[in-house]
Structure 1
Amino acid sequence: MQFSSGPDPTDLLTLPWTTPLEDWPKDILVSLPRGISRHIVRFARIGGIVYAIKEIFPALAEREYALLRDLAKKGIPCVTAVGVVSNRVAADGTPLDAALVTKHLRFSLPYRALYSRRIDPDLEPKLLDALAELLVRLHLVGFSWNDCSLSNTLFRRDAGALSAYLVDAETGDMRDVLSKGQRMNDLDIAETNLAGELLDLQMAGLLPDHVDPMETALSVMERYESLWNELTVEQTLPENEWWRIEQRLRRLNELGYDVGQLNINEVDGNPHVLVQTQVVEAGHHRRRLSELTGLKVQENQARRILNDLDNYRSRAVMPETDADENTVAQHWLTDIFEPVIEAVPQQLNEKLEPAEIFHEVLEHRWFLSEAAGVEVSIADAVKSYVANILPTRRDEKAMLDPDLMGIGQIGDFSVDDDGEIAESDDAQWRLDNL
């Protein structure tokens, strides 16, 4: 067996590899929502980690493993490939297909689960925006998916939006650069698959009456083209208008992308310059937040959290002080972020990931302040959110990871019959001092 990362391989060796996957005993399997697959897929929990295991032809398993590893190295959001189990033989000597092992993406949901528990009236545009961005990012690194669909994608909540992750790469191809024809072929496949999946949702009564499956599927082309042009289009401008370049770079950063270099050339001797941005990687805000605080979150979550950090800095740091950005960020982490997360009762911390909870607390605080006509404290917003909003959320985590927060042990919390929060003394002190 071949493993690239994760726990000691002996943990996975205990699984019944000589048994066909469809016959595995239920006591080692985890029941999780999953998309439609042409292969047999099961989820198994080993050593506190959930793995997705897919039976597939050996050559395809090795190829998909290599593609997922390559995509991860390029910073593409996708599931983590752990290894391939090959040369499997049943007890009676019958050869078995290989097994591709990946880590289950925590707090992720397939599109059917999002529709079945629909809590967002704008689900369709958010899904398609996330899928279009994923497709753009794949094409920028030279990967043609060849089977882009909602079924081959997992979604995670990202500060009210959605982030898309590639799950199935077996049909993909990696090249240095994709031609326009190859990109358009990928889009044609995506439109066809999307239309079929949305029609299935309509037949199941999960699609709102005002949503047209065909028009919605076709709109992914517009979303893709808009983002692709913003990231790659060549820009010609007079040499005395360099401010336009800075303006564009700011727009790219706001979209979450960095620019690796600028290619500048004169055009036919005219006093104009041709500026072609080369976008190398997404995640500008995510990386900045990680550098400042060590938090690992989604891009939109990072943007929202950085806004709160900037607001904290403007209020907490006097003009004459000389506190650097990293010092202020550590104070914000200790004074604001950690107390909010620690205020979540233990029985509720499987609802959403910490960064999404923090985002929702900020949103809830804004609505409370608007309704009250005065600024509501974040401590009061946390109490109201935990008592009235978070309990209504569905669990979106497969299992509880004790070091998920990265901020130490979580105290004991509960919500009493009156909706008030009861915490440990230390947690109460930190909440009172928000």
Structure 2
Amino acid sequence: MRITSALVDPSLLELPWNTPLEEWPADHLVALPQGISRHVVRFVKLHGTVYAVKETRERIAEREYDLLRALERISAPAVEAVAIVADRLSVDGESLEPVLVTRHLQFSLPYRAVFSHTLRPETMNRLLDALAALLVRMHLIGFFWGDCSLSNTLFRRDAGAFAAYLVDAETGALHLRLSNGQRSEDLEIARTNIFGEALDLQAAGLLHDQIDPEHVSDEVVRRYETLWNEITFEERVEQDTRRYIEKRIRRLNELGFDVEEVAMSVVDNQVHVRPKVVDAGHHSRRLLRLTGLDAEENQARSLLNDLDTYRAESDLPDESQAAHRWFTEVFEPVVRAVPPHLRRKLEPPELFVQVTDHRFRLSEEAGRDVGLAPAVQSFLADVLVHRPDEQAILGYEPDEIAE
């Protein structure tokens, strides 16, 4: 047996590598929702960390491992490659397929788990937005997916929306830049795959009557094209160029993208402006820099709004000082208030966002600010206790879930 690993984890040696994955004993496995896969996939938990183990051919495993490592180095939204285990032999000396080991993305679910009940149209819209945004982000960094689909995506809750992550890269390729033809090909593959998956969901009775499979696949492409155009289009400006550029950059920041430079040219007394978008995660990076919190983009935007409000109310001119005090005096007490048996319900940033929303609703009903501490206790007693673990189901209100 030969293990190629991105990190040294001796516990990998404890797994029964001389047994085909489909025959692994239950005491090594973790029951997690799983999407459709061409390969045998198992989840295992080693010393508090959950890994996904997938059997595949060695050349494919090596290629996907290298590609996922490259995506990790540029902070792309994808799962983390951990190891390749090759040269496996059964107890009878027969060759076994190599496996690719990746780290399981906490608080995430495959689309079929999201569709475990009949999905509402508004939840479907949020999923399509997340998938379109993921494809835009991957194309901006020069990644050709080659098999974009719901099956190859994981979803995490993100302050009322969803964040999507690439989970299968075996058909992908990383280039310096994608041509329009490559992007179009990826979009058509996505359209075809998603149409088939939506038909499958419809046949299983898991699509709402108002959701049309063909419309679903077309909507992903439409949303992608709308976002791509907003990020990349060149616009003619006849006057007040500086103000326009500031507004354009601010609008892109609101979408979660950073701008490295702005290209300008003058043609027939008109200024042509084209921003160079370099990365997504504008709010996430600012929150991480100020507080050390790692959050999804919409979560980060909401947390930063709360931080900025705290800073204004506290009259603290120094942003770093305000962030430190907000983290220790506001954020941490909310997280610590959750009893241990409820901490698997929501990850801390999402918990804080939902507590803030709950406080707003209570205050609206009372006609006054009810305060953070009472809102936390109300949320724990009236909302969180009724939610299933986030790893178990996603995208539904408590009264829609059969306990």
Residues 72, 80 of structure 1: 8 Å contact kept: yes
What's the secondary structure of 2:79's corresponding residue? coil
- The one-letter amino acid of 1:301's match is Q
**Cα deviations by residue, 1:300-331 (Å, 9 ceiling, x for unpaired):** 000000011111111111xxxx6411101111
Q: TM-score by structure 1 length? A: 0.87
CA distance in structure 1 between the partners assigned to 2:208 and 2:82 by the alignment: 39
Cα drift, residue 205 of structure 1: 1.8
Which is further off, 302-311 or 109-118? 109-118
Distance 2:123 2:196 in 1: 17
* 2:142 maps to 1:181: no
Contact preservation (8 Å) 2:118, 2:205 = no
Shift of 1:248: 0.6
- Give the superposition deviation at 1:75: 1.8
* Residues 75 and 281, structure 1, Cα contact 8 Å, conserved in 2: no
1:109-128 paired onto structure 2 within 5 Å: 109-116=109-116, 122-128=122-128
Which residue of structure 2 aligns with residue 287 of structure 1? 285
Give the structure 2 partner of residue 391 of structure 1: 385
CA-CA distance at 1:23 after TM superposition: 1.0
1:241-265: CA deviations, max 9, x gaps?
3211111100010011101112222
Verify: 1:333 aligned to 2:327, yes or no: yes
TM-score scaled by length of structure 2? 0.94
Q: Report if the CA contact (8 A) 2:62-2:84 is conserved.
A: yes
Query: Using the alignment, how far apart are the partners of 2:46 and 2:119 within structure 1?
Result: 32
Give runs of aligned pairs for residues 307-346 of structure 1, distance below 5 A: 307-317=305-315, 323-346=317-340
Residue 272 of structure 2: aligned partner: 274
Instruction: Give secondary structure in 2 for the equivalent of 1:245.
Output: helix
Which residue number corresponds to residue 422 of structure 1? none
Which range is displaced more, 211-220 or 48-57?
A: 211-220
Query: Matched residues in 2 for 1:231 and 1:174: separation?
Result: 20
Tell me the amino acid that sits aligned with residue 130 of structure 1: A
1:351 aligns with 2:353: no
Number of aligned residue pairs:
390
Counterpart of 1:94 in structure 2 is: 94
Aligned-residue offset at 1:202: 1.6
> Residue 107 of structure 1 contacts residue 397 of structure 1 at CA under 8 Å; is this kept in 2?
yes
Conservation of the 8 A alpha-carbon contact between 1:3 and 1:82: yes
The structural deviation recorded for 1:297 is 0.7
What pairs up with 1:12-411 in 2 under 5 angstroms? 12-116=12-116, 122-238=122-238, 240-267=240-267, 270-317=268-315, 323-397=317-391
Which range is displaced more, 233-242 or 193-202? 233-242
Q: Does 1 or 2 have the higher relative contact order (CA < 8 Å, sep 6+)?
A: 2
RMSD (Å) for aligned C-alpha atoms: 1.5
**Deviations for 1:6-34, whole angstroms, at most 9, x for unmatched residues?**
xx432101111111111111101111001
Q: Which runs of 4+ in 1 moved over 3 A?
A: 117-121
Gaps spanning 5+ residues in structure 2: where?
Answer: 393-403
From the superposition, tell whether residues 279 and 191 of structure 1 become closer, same or farther in structure 2 (CA, over 3 Å).
Answer: same
Q: Is the 8 A contact 2:344 2:389 kept in 1?
A: yes
Deviation at 1:121, TM superposition (A): 5.8
Cα pair 1:258 1:280 within 8 Å, conserved = yes
Quote the Cα distance in structure 2 between the aligned partners of 1:220 and 1:235.
25
Quote the Cα distance in structure 2 between the aligned partners of 1:54 and 1:302.
33
Cα shift at 1:117: 5.1
Post-superposition Cα deviations, 1:252-286, rounded to whole Å, max 9, x if no partner, equal 1001110111222233xx32222221111111111
Matched-pair contact (CA < 8 Å) for 1:239–1:271: no
> What is the CA distance between 1:120 and its match in structure 2?
6.3
Alignment-mate amino acid for residue 297 of structure 1:
A
Q: Report the AA paired with residue 281 of structure 1.
A: D
Question: Closer, same or farther in 2 for the Cα pair 1:314/1:120, shift >3 Å?
Answer: farther
Deviation at 1:231, TM superposition (A): 1.0
Structure 1 residue 119: deviation in Å?
8.2
Counterpart position of 1:2: 4
CA apart distance, 1:118: 6.6
State the one-letter code of the partner of 2:144: S
Query: Is residue 110–residue 153 contact of structure 2 (8 Å, CA) maintained in 1?
Result: yes
Counterparts in 2 of 1:295 and 1:115: CA distance versus 1, 3 Å: same
> Residues 101-160 of structure 1: CA distance to partner in whole angstroms, max 9, x if unpaired?
000000001111112257866211110000000001111111111111111000000011
- Once residues 186 and 200 of structure 2 are traced to their aligned partners in structure 1, the CA distance between those partners, rounded to angstroms, is 21
Q: Percent identity?
A: 55
Give the Cα separation in 2 of the matches to 1:120 and 1:338: 34
